Structure 1
Amino acid sequence: MTWIPRWRPNLFLFLLLLVVAALANTSSQNTPCPFGCTCEDTVVSCRGGNLTSLPGALPHPSKITHVVVSGQNGVTTIGNQLRQCIQLQLLNLSANNISVIEDGAFADLSNLSTLILRRNYLHWLDEDTFKGLGLLDNLDLGYNGLTVIRNNTFRELGSLRKLDFTKNHISVVDKDAFRGLTSLVVLNMTRNLLKTVPPFVFSHLRSLEILVLDDNLIEELPDFAFSGLDSLKILRLNGNRLTRISALTFVFQSRKASMVEHLYLKGTNLTEFPEKALSALHNLKTLDLSQSNIKVLHNGSFDKLINLRKLVLVGLNNLTVIENHTFTWLYKLEELTVSRNPVLHTLGGLAMTSFLGNLRLVDFSYNSIKVFHKNMVAWDSDVIVDLTHNAIECDCRAAWMIEALPTAKNPLTRRNGANLTCSGPLGLKDRKILTLPYSAFDCDVTLFGNKDVNRRVKMAAITAAVTSILLITILILIKFRIRWLSFFRRQYRYRSYKNNGMFTVDKNGNCSEEGVPMDVIYTHIH
């Protein structure tokens, strides 16, 4: 009987596995690059390859990190064709005809960090669409046909930082649609069909810093619309139909101060400045209200925005007046652009002051403002000022310009000042202001320049007169105090008699509360 070692069958099995692996490796090495694609090292590109499905066989699939199947392809369905590409990091399937993503299509692509599905025909996403993509960082779903974002669609995407829904047809976002997106930093929902922002819909996005809701159909922002966005820094609401912003829109139920630093409300239907709503944004640095329907900027509109650095008010076709003290308290303001507002004719003399020492740019060009005031900026600072293309009346109120503008510190300010022209009176129309003599302004420039001093002198004179009258009154009271005291004492005793019915007089002639004849009383009180 021949003895056979017990380990020999196991050795045969091991050798068999090696042979199978070698054959498989040889097969993958010999797999040609799909028709219409190029395969270089770890990158497979099938741009414009006229493919109708994803390539299922690729050379060295376990080493591939980038697959691009975009542009002039006709892929309609995403299955698990790329399941062997376990090291895949980027998958670009943009500009295809994809309308279906099979459940578990990405389940084996655990290293995928970027998935681009832009410009396809996706209409539906469910809880298992992105299953297995725990390391996904960037997801682009722009330019599809999505209408609803369902609850828990992204529950497994805990590492996702960028999510793009640009130009879909989204009108409904379920309350827990964004649950699981604990690392999301940027959410772009531009050009969708949202009519409102449901309260707390973003409450799961604690790390979100940038939220873009431009060009939707939003008409009103309700209370606590952005509650939960504790890290939000940039909020864009341009191009919506906003007519009202609730006073509690930017208030968080957590009572934490809002971190929003940049707010864009360009192209809305706001008719009044949302002062109460914006008062909660203490950290706001940039505010753009351009192309809205605001008519008047009132005294104190921006008082609560103490950290504002940049304010843009361009193309407000209904803005007519900026009242006194509108910008007075914006001590940190660096850029103020109030331009191309065709019916803006009045800028209050105290709308802004020279105490705004951080200003680097003041642009009031292309308005219809008739009068600018000297105290609007510190002309000896390095601020750039542009007052061109306005309806400046060259009367006494403009006389200061011929002295302040040519000596302004900033050369751009001096250049802009040289281009200022008169809108009136008729005899000076279209004349350059800085070429006019003092006499053209028909006023005493010196007195005009000292208007503030004269007003202070008058106030001092009035104060001195009132003080003198008060002192004289006090001296008169002091001088006749004995007579007044005597008079009041007699009156008191007489009223005491009437109340008690009688007086008595002692041996010294002093009255008491005992009764005496009327002649004694008369003698005493007179």
Structure 2
Amino acid sequence: DIIGGNFRNAIKFGNPFANLQTEELILKDMNIVSIPDPAFLPLKLVLKKLDLSNNFLTTLPLALKELDVLESLDVSNNVIDDKNFTEIVLRKLGATLTSFTFGSLDINNWPNTLKHLQMLQNLNVTKAAIRFMPQDAFYGFSGTLLTLSLENTALNSVPLAVARLTFLQSFNFDHNENVGDYGMNVPLLRGMMNYLTNISFQDDSLKTFPSALQAFANLKSVSMDENMLEFVSDNAATSVRQIENLSMRNSSISRIPQALADLTSLKSIDLSDNRIHSIDIEDVRILHSVKEIKLNNNPILYISNHAFDSTENLERLELKNTNLKQVPCALKFAIENLTRVKNVFPLTVDLSENKIECTCELKWLSDTLYAHRNNINWTVLGNCETIVSSIDSYLKSVTLGDCPTSTICNS
């Protein structure tokens, strides 16, 4: 037993890993203050992944230098300051470590001993009091790093050092509240970082899309969640014209931005957790290439009957927890238009967490789905409010089959 206090006693009076052979060891949340130098000797040639997060370590333990094949190390949420990223440890781990996670508000400066991690592919900084990063911050692994996460820092701008990460594929720069739009004005030349496909700028106090994004020709996915994107200008949207996936959750948006019409490659849009009250014909017509639309957790009161007529590629529509009481008639006309341009297609509509009234008035949807049964592989998710049944089961029920034809969605 190496859990909690038993582990601390074992490590104090003996060797808790004497009979252990494992590639992965999780020692998080165990109030560990220190680790004796020989503690990991029995795991010297086998341990590849070690999690020491959420403890009370004040330095990188010297015991780590005994691990010859360690590939992943997590020491986040300890009390290790920037002067205690032990050089002898990182120099030894540099030959094998490919993933490193750390984070503490005691870190005021970038640890320069990270330069020894010359095999590093994934670097995750969960929090730090850093206000500035030197341009050579990633020296030693600028040619190997593939994913970078810098979260909960005191940085005022995107570090210029990021531009030196030649093969970076994914960059998460989230919860850096001091940044704002000005901090995104990073001088980047088009053609740099050609491998970058995913960027996340969540909760960075942004009010628009950073123009710097236009430098990344191969960018596919952008997350701008938890910002203040009440208005998205046409000029701002052109900076991400090439992307396929866009998320703007919880960003104070009250209407689907018309500027998205410039995103002709867009396949997935997530506008959940905003303030969207209505969906008109012109709101969605611009999303002609989109396969997936997520509008969950919006206070939607009105959906135009023909809102989704132009979404010729639609495969998934999410309207979870949106105050809807009836299945929107827009679904009828969307299905009819989809069958005109496609022979066979899948369609999932998620109405979960709504108070959908399952009555004879839903006969129109049952009839529509039956009429196009050879064209559409459909799924309707969610439960009825008025009876104990899923919407899917009700649409197939004998009870609904006996209902008169519904004209509620005639146009």
- What's the TM-score, normalizing by structure 1? 0.55
Q: Structure 1 345/331 Cα, relative in aligned 2: closer, same or farther at 3 Å? A: closer
Q: Structure 1 206/414 Cα, relative in aligned 2: closer, same or farther at 3 Å? A: closer
> 1:267 and 2:222 equivalent?
no
| Residue 115 of structure 1: aligned partner | 73
Q: How does 1:127-166 map to 2 (within 5 A)?
A: 128=87, 130-142=90-102, 144-150=104-110, 152-166=112-126
Q: Structure 1 262/218 Cα, relative in aligned 2: closer, same or farther at 3 Å? A: farther
Q: Structure 1 411/113 Cα, relative in aligned 2: closer, same or farther at 3 Å? A: closer
For 1:78 and 1:225, locate their aligned partners in 2 and report how far apart those are by CA, in whole Å.
47
Q: Which entry has the higher C-alpha Rg, 1 or 2? A: 1
Q: Structure 1 313/188 Cα, relative in aligned 2: closer, same or farther at 3 Å? A: same
> 1:341 and 2:298 equivalent?
yes
| Residue 196 of structure 2: aligned partner | 232
Q: How does 1:122-521 map to 2 (within 5 A)?
A: 122-125=80-83, 128=87, 130-142=90-102, 144-150=104-110, 152-181=112-141, 182-190=143-151, 192-194=152-154, 196-217=156-177, 220-221=180-181, 222-224=184-186, 228-238=192-202, 240-252=203-215, 257=217, 259-273=218-232, 275-299=234-258, 301-316=259-274, 318-347=275-304, 349=306, 351-354=307-310, 356=312, 358-364=313-319, 366-367=321-322, 372-373=329-330, 375-377=333-335, 378=337, 380=339, 381-385=345-349, 389=354, 404=368, 407-409=371-373, 410=376, 412=378, 448=411
1:202/1:229 contact within 8 Å kept: no
Aligned-residue offset at 1:319: 1.9
Q: Can you give the 5+ residue segments of structure 1 that lack an aligned partner in the other structure?
A: 1-35, 38-45, 393-397, 422-431, 449-526
Aligned-residue offset at 1:352: 3.7
**Equivalent position amino acid for 1:206 in 2:** T
1:337-394: per-residue Cα shift (whole Å, max 9, x none)? 2233114535484x543461x32212345436797545434354542345785899xx
Q: Structure 1 54/328 Cα, relative in aligned 2: closer, same or farther at 3 Å? A: farther
Aligned-residue offset at 1:250: 0.6
> 1:98 and 2:60 equivalent?
no
1:266/1:291 contact within 8 Å kept: yes
- What's the TM-score, normalizing by structure 2? 0.68
1:396-422: per-residue Cα shift (whole Å, max 9, x none)? xx998686455343474678899999x
Secondary structure at the residue paired with 1:279? helix
Q: Can you give the 5+ residue segments of structure 2 that lack an aligned partner in the other structure?
A: 340-344, 388-399
Q: Structure 1 344/288 Cα, relative in aligned 2: closer, same or farther at 3 Å? A: farther
Aligned-residue offset at 1:202: 1.0
Aligned-residue offset at 1:176: 2.7
1:89-108: per-residue Cα shift (whole Å, max 9, x none)? 64737155321348x98778
Secondary structure at the residue paired with 1:245? coil
Query: Which fold has the larger relative contact order, with Cα–Cα distance below 8 Å and residues 6 or more apart in sequence?
Result: 2
Aligned-residue offset at 1:183: 0.9
**Equivalent position amino acid for 1:303 in 2:** A
Q: Structure 1 53/139 Cα, relative in aligned 2: closer, same or farther at 3 Å? A: farther
1:314-340: per-residue Cα shift (whole Å, max 9, x none)? 221x22344544443544422112233
For 1:307 and 1:384, locate their aligned partners in 2 and report how far apart those are by CA, in whole Å.
21
2:214/2:239 contact within 8 Å kept: yes
2:231/2:257 contact within 8 Å kept: no
Secondary structure at the residue paired with 1:155? helix
1:163/1:188 contact within 8 Å kept: yes
**Equivalent position amino acid for 2:265 in 1:** N
